[in-house]
Every structure is written in C-alpha cells, then in structure tokens.
Amino acid sequence: MIMMEISGISKKFKKKTVLKDINLTVHEGSCVGILGGNGSGKSTLLSILAGVQKADNGSFLWEGADLFCNEKLRAQILGYVPQGNPLMEELTAWDNLRLWYEKKELQSQLETGVLAMLGISDFIKVPVRKMSGGMKKRLSIGCAVANHPRLLLLDEPSAALDFICKERIGNYLKDFKEQGGTILLATHDVQELALCDVWYILKDGVLVPYVYDGDVHHLVGKL
C-alpha cells in the first residue's frame, strides 16, 4: 500500500540548485535509504519534509493529504531526527523527555516500551551536556517517537556511534518497521543499508533509484 508520495520537490539557495524535481513513492512498512555524498542535499530534503525548511516547488502527500498544507496532520504522523543535536543541553534526559511525554506514559516507556529498547533508562538523570554522542542520538530518537509516528525521517542516526549504540538503534528501527512504520533514512552507514528495502542516490540534486547488492565499492563509485 502506497503511504507517501513526494512529487516535484525543488530547492535553490541563491543561485545553487540543491534539489531538482525530486519524486519518490514509499510503501507502508518499508525503509527507504537515501544515499549521497556530503552536501548532496539529503539533509535539505529531510528538513523540507519535516517542515524545518520550505520547498520552492512540490508536494508531500500522505494517504492523499498534502502535508505541506496540513501542519497538524504532519505533526501527528511524522517523527524527525536531524543530523545535529536538537536537545536542551542543560536538561537531563528525563527533563528533555518530559517536554514530549506525560509522566505516566514516560515511566511506562522507560520500563517496557521504546525508551527501554533504546536503553535510555541507563542515563535518565544525566544532563545532555555530559552525554556521549550515542546517548544524545538515542535520546533524540526517543523524543521524536513520543507521538507514536507512522513515518520516521532519520538523518544519519548512527553516524560515528559505537557498535552497541548502532545495535540498539537498529533493533528499534526493525521493530518500528515490523509494526507497520515507514522510514526515510539518509545514511552513509553500511549496517543501516541492510535495514532498507529500497535505495536511492541523491547526486547533483537528482534522485535516482539504486539497487544495493552488498557491493560497497560499486556504491562508492556511484556517489
């Protein structure tokens, strides 16, 4: 079942065209990998879909409704984890999560839910400024899924993380897909490529399909 359709998305910054007529169809319960070198426009595309930036042209349909024109619906169905750190540095993990969760729901999620799966209870009292990169990324994901989104936009979620953090994030994403969730994943990570059902390369502002067969050297030559 088709859940998401991106049509004709374009974006320019002054005279530089970053995205050229981006078109993409995504099916329910699938993970789409967006591959590309640094500066290829992956982060720009995800931030546009998340509502952080505006596209010059195009539409973003979810079950036929244009999320560019319906911010309320977009907030209900979408979770976004940017490449940078969106957290409040002086607050603890608990206090950051309380900005998104009711107390009872937060406690439940820490005991048996998604926050438990991400291992956030291990550093629940730690201020963000004292956290490792892996802790911050797991906490960012925990905040992003507070509204039980049906669509996740992830910008290099496991970049520069250790194997334990990557495994926790990977396990969560597998579980999210199994429950019918849909993922749009910008990545450079070989482990994350295995999570994807289909792959696209974004280069020179153009998005084209790519069949990843495990040959990393061939992929690198295409980027």
Is pLDDT above 80 for 46? yes
- Average pLDDT rounded to a whole number, residues 85-98: 94
Q: Are strands 198-203 and 65-66 parallel, antiparallel or unpaired?
A: unpaired
Q: How far is the C-alpha of 60 from the C-alpha of 28, rounded, in Å? A: 15
Tokens 């930036």 -> residue: 53
Q: pLDDT tens, 160-200?
A: 677 887 888 888 888 999 999 999 999 877 778 888 999 99
Kindly report the CATH number assigned to the domain that includes residue 26.
3.40.50.300
Give the pLDDT confidence score for residue 164 in this predicted structure. Answer: 81
- Average pLDDT rounded to a whole number, residues 26-54: 92
Q: Is residue 136 part of a domain?
A: yes
Q: Structural domain tally of the chain?
A: 1
State the pLDDT confidence band at 222, using cuts at 50, 70 and 90: low
What is the extent of the structural domain holding 43? 2-207
State the pLDDT confidence band at 42, using cuts at 50, 70 and 90: very high
Q: Is residue 220 part of a domain?
A: no
Q: pLDDT tens, 100-134?
A: 999 999 999 999 998 998 899 999 999 999 999 88
Q: How far is the C-alpha of 79 from the C-alpha of 137, rounded, in Å? A: 14
| Report field, pTM of the whole predicted structure over 0.85 | yes
Give the pLDDT confidence score for residue 221 in this predicted structure. Answer: 64
Over the chain, what is the mean pLDDT? 90
Q: Is residue 105 part of a domain?
A: yes
Q: Are 64 and 1 in contact (CB under 8 A)?
A: no
Q: Is residue 179 part of a domain?
A: yes
Is pLDDT above 90 for 220? no
Local structure of residue 163 (DSSP, 8 states): H
Q: Is residue 58 part of a domain?
A: yes
Is pLDDT above 90 for 3? no
Looking at per-residue confidence, does 212 or 83 come out higher? 83
- Report residue 79 as tokens: 């979770």
Give the pLDDT confidence score for residue 1 in this predicted structure. Answer: 67
Give the pLDDT confidence score for residue 210 in this predicted structure. Answer: 84
Neighbours of 31 (CB within 10 A): 24
